[in-house]
Amino acid sequence: MSMYTSVFLFIGNDLFEVMLDPYMQYSCGYWKTATDLNTAQIHKLELIAKKLHLKPGMKVLDIGCGFGGLAKYLAKNYGVSVVGCTISKEQAQFGEKLCEGLPVHFELCDYQKFRVAEKFDRIVSVGFMEHVGKFNYETLYKIAEDALTDDGIFLLHTMGRNTKKFPGTCKWSHVNIFPNGWLPKLEDLVVKAEDKFVVEDVHNFGADYYYTLAEWEKNFNAGWPKLRSKYGDRFYRVWTTYLQAAQGFLKSRNVHVYQIAYTKKGFVGGYQSCR
């Protein structure tokens, strides 16, 4: 493995199964009342569901759906159907098994090539905006606008920053962990949505990501003995550096986690959020 090749390109589902919760959530948990990782992730999933104001029979689009955990939770607990969009064949296959028997379908395609055959009542995107690149925000918003019903809700969950003084990426992260990753400014998440959406609610719970990352590091270290032969010691050093550095960024409050609720024309009667 070249020292200049992202370790992320070599990661399999086995790493995430060791590190994450049963819903395979590779994004910030919600620790308002939780005391463990599994509960924090379930509370995050429930928070998303409440903010989407779901009703049985609704159609939901999950852009950048990961391993399908959110799709499973929404379909199982709220009686909705979900289409997940991902470029990862491995994640799609994992999601299909995870969501077996539920009205969940996975589209294996780049989000920019996703073609809307039907409108969706709700759209959600969790931990995806950080990877689209700073020149593609308007593209993502346009796709969401085209796919959403006029009375629908689009909920975006993303890491971000509130000042340009803190960089959107760094060379080490770009080379080793997230090629072309970029943390949006809060301003971007509002301005780039202009003329497409009404910003109904902005919720910052970035401090919770510190606790999530700390639990991931514990799980990773506990599971490392059965991963070591596959990944090697260099991977261990890079991955633990990433997890520890991320904890520092979140604890310093220079990096945040935003959940932003958008509607096309304003939610009828006013949008009611929750915390």
pLDDT for 215:
98
Measured distance CA(145)–CA(75) in Å, rounded: 23
| Per-residue pLDDT at 155 | 98
Regarding the domain delimited by 7-263, which CATH topology (the fold level of the hierarchy) does it fall under?
Answer: Rossmann fold (3.40.50)
Joined together, the tokens standing for residue 144 give 């969401």
**Residue 153 contacts residue 263 (beta carbons within 8 Å):** yes
pLDDT at 4: 41
Please choose, from the candidates 102, 98, 101, 70, the residue with its C-alpha nearest in 3D space to the C-alpha of residue 84.
70
Grouping H, G, I as helix, E, B as strand and the rest as coil, residue 162 is coil
Tell me the pLDDT of the chain (275 aa) as tens digits. 334 445 555 689 999 999 999 999 999 999 999 999 999 999 999 999 999 999 999 999 999 999 999 999 999 999 999 999 999 999 999 999 999 999 999 999 999 888 777 899 999 999 999 999 889 999 999 999 999 999 999 999 999 998 777 888 878 887 788 887 889 999 999 999 999 999 999 999 999 999 999 999 999 999 999 999 999 999 999 999 999 999 999 999 989 999 999 999 998 889 999 99
Token digits for 200? 């109904």
Residue 81: the pLDDT is 98
pLDDT at 16 (0 to 100): 96
Residue 1 pLDDT: 36
The residues, any chain, with a CB within 8 Å of residue 220's CB and separated by 6 or more, are 15, 18, 19, 239, 240, 243
Q: Which residues of 238-253 are buried (b: 16+ CB within 10 A; e: fewer)?
A: bbeebbeebbebbbee
